[in-house]
Chain A
Amino acid sequence: MNNLPINEISNFLNIPVKEIDSLIPIIENNWIELIHDAKFKYSSIILPLIIKNSTFEISNQFSFKSSKLAKMLIHSNQIFFYSATLGLAVDKKLKLKSYYNLEDALVYNACANSLIEIETQKIFDTLKKQQARLNKYTSIRFSPGYLDLDLSNQNLFLSITNSTSKIGLTLSNHLALIPEKSITAFSCISNRKLPTSYNCSLCDFYNKCLSEGGFKCEF
């Protein structure tokens, strides 16, 4: 199978690529199943941005705070909000597999994480190209819950992208995205160059991180 994203899947399975050969058949089966189940949908919007101190002011309507991000992105004047989901059928299949074949569930889960990551990256790559044509620069993407950007901002992100009605993305009482295989993120846009890589030591979770220097982390 040519389009099997084996590097991403092995990352999410925490298995070195060179060791994954014996699992290829099961990965292929799960990938095919996932492509059938997943209904990738996303919602996005570009809005004017002013960063003052640690506050991101968007269109004079919304705001969120992050002093670390504000320092990194201070020269931005637009912000791209994005939310995406693979849909509920993936959650249901994952749960079903957890009941009758846990190995399959584990692989399917890794495939689903890979798929949403790949689709998301495509959108952000397109954004980068589009902005480059306008002589503008985009930053790497950030999500609520990382750095000092509080997870409670999920509500704001969903509201700005109108994600509940557009793509069926909701929040649980404990701020989990539902469907589970979903992402909210943003990227800043500027006339000046913005950070395109990320220093893990900035992250609030640096000391707690299990992902060994960004391995599996969105940054």
Chain B
Amino acid sequence: MNFKEYIKSNYLLLDGAMGTEIQKEYPNLNFSPEILNIENPELIENIHKKYINSGSQAIITNTFGANSYKLSNSKYSVTNVIESAITIAKKASLNKVFIGLNIGPIGQLLKPLGSLDFDCAYNHFKEQIMVLKNHPVDFIYLQTFSDLQELRIALLAVNENSNLPVIASMTFNENFQSLTGTTIEAFAVSLRDMDVDALGINCSLGSHALLPGIESLLNYSKQPVLFQPNAGLPTIKNNTTIYSENPKIFLSNMEKACDLGVRIFGGCCGTTPKHIKLLSLYLNNKKTIKTTTHQFKTKICSYSNVVDFDKGIVVIGERINPTGKKKIKNALIKNDMEYLIKESINQINSGAQILDLNVGIPEIDQISSMTNLINEIQSVLNTPLQIDSDNPLVIEKALRNYCGKAIINSVTGKISSLKTIVPLAKKYGAAIVGLTIDENGLPKSTLDRVSIAEKIINYCISKGIPNENIFIDALTMTVSAQQKEVPDTLNALKEIKNKYNVKTILGTSNISHGLPNRSVLNRTFLTMALSNGLNATITDPTCNDIFETILAYRVLNGEDIDSINYIRNFDCTKDKKDKEHSTIKTSLHDSIYYGYKESIIKIINDKLEKQKALDIIHNEIMPSLNILGNDFNNQKIYLPQLIRGAETVKIAFEILKENLPKSHIKNQPKILLATVEGDVHDIGKNIVKILLENQGFNIIDLGKDVSETIILKTIEKENIKLIGLSSLMTTTLPSMEKTIKLVKENHPNVAIMVGGAVLTFEYSKQIKADFYGKNAQESVEFAKNFFLKGI
């Protein structure tokens, strides 16, 4: 029986710790233990044999850290180390037990918080897996991952480069969160609909402390569950590491795990052949396998946040979509992440539980734009995402990069669409929205809608998409143009909900296009849809009417128990209005100087009724900014106050921009800002950015860790005359020097200003920068003079 079949109907016992057994022979190990596959194969073979003799039914190769990052200082290649490990395992097993290739984390953190990019991580794993072409094993064991995204990448690498069964296991701390914040539920929901044969928890706290965690995983996993804990936590006594769980204690907890439903067992750090022996005796006496059947709910998640569609109406924020939104369109074209993230935060603060992302404009590379947006959102927010595109390439790239379980928006009833999009949902374990439209165009009746929905549902199920991952959109028609069809949508919604075990979704704002007072129509239609069984609305949650309608619906439908959220919201609204009222009498200067962000909008709007935008800027804002800058220079105020004032001015500019002549905006001098390659710190650069923006400069912010190639390309593309480079680490100063050298060679007329904690005036001269700013304000003065006087 092959491994895949075996684990479906049997308990499986893996081996125990390899590392701690090696340490018994090499207590002062100061090299990668995987090297012993080549330098002391007898030792590794003996450890394998001890576990086999103790009853292990599967052994794991000594390859946990056999990747090109961890072996970079070794004289052996990844292929050498893995080939040797498999040869040893085969020699020890004599075909009596299964052999699994052990793959652990790479040892670096993924971008954007770390420096490892997706493709690089993928290639590390692929390199390990490709060794199996000539040295086959029975299965692949991905273990001890604390970053869900890294585990997803490893799983994709396995599935795209081999046909082997695979176990995916994470490690969790005492709060049952991984080091990167993933919960056990998010781990299971993210992977359970992907091609993986077992999910598990290994290493970490020990068998006793992890029992609640394993119980949780059993509730959420569709696959057999693996449990391979440490033998408790280690302590050091007399220079010897001792683990707290002896074989008997370990066994008693593993028995409980077995009763809970665990199917694959093993031991991690600190376990020994004795631990495995007792476990083997116990499992050999177990006659029947405990099987459990769960009704899985519709859940969507990010790396740490799970949204349950069976708990009530779900709000999906629609605002990140360029259709009809000029500012979003511009932000996408300019890659203005700050605007897009703020828009995301606004939606979340207004009640969005999921964000719909649509980057569908022809002027941009939609694949890279969608990928950048997903990466950036996921680096700061944990709200799950809905990928909204009609381009399969955009959808696939988005699903690869998204850490969690996403919704694809959408597939239609057209065969070509079903054939292209549904396999992507299957491969990446995503949910999918089916639009009730097909080759015959828009449906003409309720019956047409239901019939197309049935076609989509049947197709999805035939391709392995479970019911709980299917959403049907019965299409909201614009009432001004297709008034007669509005009841069809609602009737179809109700029938689909009653007839099929799937969820329903609607883009409810579409109803009101072309009519005045849209929000009344939107909220009324939403209420009608909700009473017909709508599960999720794609809408603008920042629209107060919609937000309040949903709050009220949740009270009336029994979702908001004791009306807690309803009361909390309306109390807050009152506070907010009181606050706004109390601050409106402040002057513009005081608002800027003291950073009264709440009052600046009203002040600017009032002033615009009497003055031109340019006059407000030149006669009022600029003088206030000068005072602020001077007081900072004279240490009357400090950086936080300067920034607060700058942020207040930024809010003012958002309003004023709408009223400025286009020629003025077009002629704003451009400045390129970047933190140099390798440096991940950018708070200093962001401070310089906001102060420069306040002075009317058009900032092209390339972010952090920016290569000189990208800087050179942008200088050319945007016709840049001044760039600002920042660096906070001594190790990235060579990147700054290299960038300056290349800029000077290719664009001798471009001026360069530099700043950052490790820089000095002397060093800036040495690397031939044109200006060194000791603080952000100095950089602003330089930029002003540069464009005014050309120096």
Contact = CB atoms under 8 A, between A and B. Distances in A.
Interface in A1-38: 13-15, 19, 22-23, 26
Contacts of B179: 87-88, 167-168
Contacts of B345: 96, 99-100
Interface string A62-103: 100000000000000000000000011101101110111111
B643 interface: yes
Interface stretch (B444-452, B489-497, B542-550, B676-684): B676-684
Given A23-B640, A145-B730, A174-B679, A100 B107 contact: no
A173 interface: yes
Candidate in A26, A91, A103 with the most chain B CB atoms within 10 angstroms:
A103
Interface stretch (B78-86, B609-617, B755-763): B755-763
A126 B325 CA distance: 59
Given A89-B181, A99-B345, A178 B114 contact: yes
Interface in B103-130: 107-109, 113-115
Contact of B380 (A95, A175, A210): A95
Given A102-B686, A106-B643, A178 B28 contact: no
A42 to B, nearest CB: 14
A113 B723 CA distance: 29
B341 A106 contact: no
B690 interface: yes
B731 interface: yes
Given A92-B379, A151-B730, A26 B144 contact: no
A95 B379 contact: yes
Contacts of A200: none
A145 B731 CA distance: 9
A96 B112 CA distance: 13
A25 B762 CA distance: 39
A171 interface: yes
Nearest to B107: A164
Interface in A151-192: 151, 164-165, 167-168, 170-176, 178-180
Contacts of B380: 92, 95-96, 99
A59 interface: yes
Contact of A172 (B108, B638, B759, B762): B108
Contacts of A179: 109, 113
A105 interface: yes
A208 B381 contact: no
A95 B685 CA distance: 12
B654 to A, nearest CB: 13
B307 interface: no
Contacts, number: 136
A107 interface: yes
A61 interface: yes
B338 A208 contact: no
A168 B144 CA distance: 12
A197 interface: no
Given A100-B342, A102-B687, A207-B762, A176 B680 contact: yes
Given A60-B28, A208-B758, A103 B647 contact: yes
Contact of A91 (B113, B144, B678): B113
A107 to B, nearest CB: 6
A98 B379 CA distance: 12
B635 to A, nearest CB: 8
A138 interface: no
A114 interface: no
Nearest to B644: A103
B30 interface: yes
A120 interface: no
A176 B638 contact: no
Candidate in A14, A23, A173 with the most chain B CB atoms within 10 angstroms:
A173
Contacts of B681: 176, 180
B38 interface: no
A143 interface: no
A172 B683 contact: no
B760 A208 contact: yes
Nearest to B203: A165
Interface in B366-397: 379-381
Contact of B682 (A15, A98, A178): A98
A13 B639 contact: yes
B678 A102 contact: no
A109 interface: yes
B767 interface: no
Contacts of A15: 638-640
B113 A106 contact: no
A35 to B, nearest CB: 15
B502 interface: no
Interface in B657-684: 677-683
B171 to A, nearest CB: 9
A109 B690 CA distance: 17
A98 B731 contact: no
B678 A172 contact: yes
B752 to A, nearest CB: 19
B338 A180 contact: no
A151 B734 CA distance: 14
A174 B677 CA distance: 9
Contacts of B321: none
Contact of A208 (B107, B647, B762): B762
A178 B113 contact: yes
A174 B705 CA distance: 10
Contact of B113 (A19, A23, A88, A103): A88
Contact of B760 (A22, A26, A100, A210): A210
B102 interface: no
B638 A102 contact: no
Interface string A93-134: 011101111110111010000000000000000000000000
B683 A106 contact: yes
B729 A99 contact: no
A177 to B, nearest CB: 10
B626 interface: no
B180 interface: yes
Given A13-B640, A102-B687, A168-B146, A176 B731 contact: yes
Nearest to A102: B643
Candidate in B107, B640, B677, B760 with the most chain A CB atoms within 10 angstroms:
B640
A98 B681 CA distance: 11
B19 to A, nearest CB: 10
Nearest to A155: B73
B37 interface: no
B683 A98 contact: yes
Contact of B729 (A62, A98, A100, A174): A174
Given A99-B342, A151-B731, A176-B679, A107 B146 contact: no
A91 B341 CA distance: 16
A106 B678 contact: no
Given A95-B379, A145-B730, A151-B731, A178 B115 contact: yes
A101 B647 contact: yes
B644 A96 contact: no
Contacts of B595: 103
Contacts of A26: 640
B732 interface: yes
Contacts of B731: 151, 174-176
Contacts of A207: 760, 762
Interface in B54-93: none
27 contacts: A13-B638, A14-B638, A14-B639, A15-B638, A59-B28, A61-B30, A87-B179, A88-B181, A98-B686, A99-B345, A99-B380, A100-B345, A102-B683, A102-B687, A151-B730, A170-B109, A171-B108, A172-B108, A172-B109, A173-B115, A176-B115, A176-B678, A178-B109, A179-B109, A180-B680, A207-B760, A210-B774
Given A96-B380, A172-B109, 13 more contacts: A59-B28, A89-B181, A92-B113, A95-B379, A96-B345, A100-B345, A102-B646, A103-B644, A106-B683, A145-B730, A174-B735, A175-B731, A205-B758
- The 7 residue pairs across chains A and B that have the minimum distance between CB atoms: A174-B678, A168-B179, A172-B115, A61-B30, A96-B380, A103-B643, A15-B638
